[in-house]
């Protein structure tokens, strides 16, 4: 790795077309879990101008009990698509539903009625988790997340806040943010570039929008980090072609959301995880119940990595857990702390002792059968402080240290 480099991560708002789909799919999952915690769901959503298509599989017992159309309209309304002039709104959109029961072949393997007599993984695959203390070293509490993605999420959340609170009422739900951070010696030292693209009413002039978003979004979020100079941001307020902060760099973003771009569930897997730092197994999260290890094992991998770093065993940690469909025990567990004091083999063995890694154990330990998933569908599944994000706890540090001492 070079001594100095710039790393960039992006985030999107809940009104981005792909995130609208994630919100609807996870709202379906929450509704199914409210009916019965044991219900299984694999829900995919597509949106475009004036249309929502919901497809996938659910437990047969709840197939005819869920009002999928009502669930979709509610999610769209909560995001803020309520104006028919936007080409996509909660009341006027057409909702098509193509849901069916879960495959009996999959159900047999997951339910412990197949070759193995305990709950197995809902699919094969490898899941990754990652954690880093680079934020704390820079004086920022990033919840052991990489700085670029953490700050990009803060900007996206702030865009939604100022819109919903009425601070900037001319903003609309769609939006994207991007933060480029300069690293030296492996540590973040400054913010080099910021991009904020925000959906807006046609009458919102670019100069006014730029000044408002700088004052209400960029400065409040980024200035306290100490990685960017507030005065320099203010000086650049009138410079539309600033090379530090690009706000709506095309000049206009009045047509957005599903009217402008189609969306699909699961197309923002890097936004959902670590912003490109650490590897990714390829599986999306939203719309999947925790019997699918794409979701539950990825949450467990983050839980493991975060505890390794919180225990002081590493500055950075990457975890891989892999499964075979229908089999409870993972086929492999690999934990790399990038620290010669704790070789990967020793750390992996300690993690197997300390953490429950069978699907049923993960679900129980992280309490994943509750209807807790809609909030995960935007602004990242990791680095969150809400109580329901149980995989963000650091309650295994002492056990890990003891396991390595033996």
Catalytic residues: 16, 18-19, 44, 57, 176, 253, 261-262, 267-268, 288, 292, 294
Work out the angle at residue 117's Cα, subtended by the Cα atoms of residues 112 and 121, and round it to the nearest 5 degrees. Answer: 50
Contact 393, 303 (CB under 8 A): yes
Contacts with 172 (C-beta within 8 Å, 6 or more apart), sequence order = 15, 80, 86, 163, 198, 199, 200, 201, 256, 257
DSSP assignment of 279-323 equals ---S---TTB-TTSHHHHHHHHHHHHHHHHHHTTS-SEEEEEEEE
How far apart are alpha carbons 262 and 161 in whole angstroms?
Answer: 24
Tally: H helices and E strands in the chain: 15, 11
Burial class (CB in 10 A: 0-12, 13-18, 19+), 250: exposed
How far apart are alpha carbons 296 and 189 in whole angstroms?
Answer: 34
Q: If you search the block for the tokens 């004086």, which residue do you land on?
A: 139
Q: How many residues does the chain have?
A: 406
């Amino acid at each position: 790795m070079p001594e100095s480099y710039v790393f960039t991560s992006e985030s999107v708002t809940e009104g981005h077309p792909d995130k609208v789909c994630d919100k609807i799919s996870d709202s379906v999952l929450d509704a199914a879990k409210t009916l019965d915690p044991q219900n299984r769901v694999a829900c995919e959503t597509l949106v475009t101008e004036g249309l929502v298509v919901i497809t996938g599989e659910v437990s047969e017992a709840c197939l005819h009990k869920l009002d999928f159309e009502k669930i979709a309209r509610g999610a769209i309304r909560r995001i803020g698509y309520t104006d028919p002039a936007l080409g996509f709104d909660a009341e006027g959109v057409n909702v098509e539903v193509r849901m069916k029961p879960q495959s009996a072949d999959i159900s047999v393997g997951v339910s412990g009625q197949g070759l193995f007599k305990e709950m197995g993984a809902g699919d094969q695959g490898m899941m990754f988790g990652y954690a880093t203390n680079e934020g704390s070293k820079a004086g920022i509490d990033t919840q052991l997340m990489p700085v670029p993605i953490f700050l990009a999420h803060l900007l996206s959340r702030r865009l939604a806040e100022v819109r919903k609170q009425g601070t900037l009422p001319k903003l609309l739900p769609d939006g994207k943010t991007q933060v480029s951070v300069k690293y030296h010696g492996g540590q973040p030292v400054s913010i080099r570039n910021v991009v904020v693209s925000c959906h807006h009413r046609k009458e919102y002039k670019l100069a006014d929008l730029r000044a408002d978003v700088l004052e209400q979004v960029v400065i409040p979020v980024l200035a306290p980090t100490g990685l960017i100079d507030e005065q320099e941001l203010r000086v650049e307020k009138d410079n539309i072609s600033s090379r530090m902060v690009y706000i709506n760099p095309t000049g206009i973003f009045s047509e957005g959301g599903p009217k402008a771009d189609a969306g699909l569930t699961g197309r923002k897997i890097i936004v959902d995880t670590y912003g490109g730092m650490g590897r990714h197994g390829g599986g999306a999260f939203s719309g999947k119940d925790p019997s699918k290890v794409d979701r539950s094992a990825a949450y467990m991998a983050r839980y493991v990595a975060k505890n390794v770093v919180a225990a002081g065993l590493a500055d950075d940690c990457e975890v891989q857990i892999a499964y075979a469909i229908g089999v409870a025990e993972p086929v492999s567990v690999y934990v790399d702390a990038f620290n010669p004091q704790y070789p990967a083999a020793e750390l992996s063995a300690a993690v197997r002792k300390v953490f429950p890694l069978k699907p049923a154990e993960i679900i129980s330990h992280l309490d994943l059968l509750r209807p807790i998933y809609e909030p995960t569908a935007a602004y990242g599944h990791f680095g969150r402080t809400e109580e329901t994000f149980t995989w963000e706890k650091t309650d295994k540090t002492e056990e890990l240290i003891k396991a390595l001492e033996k």
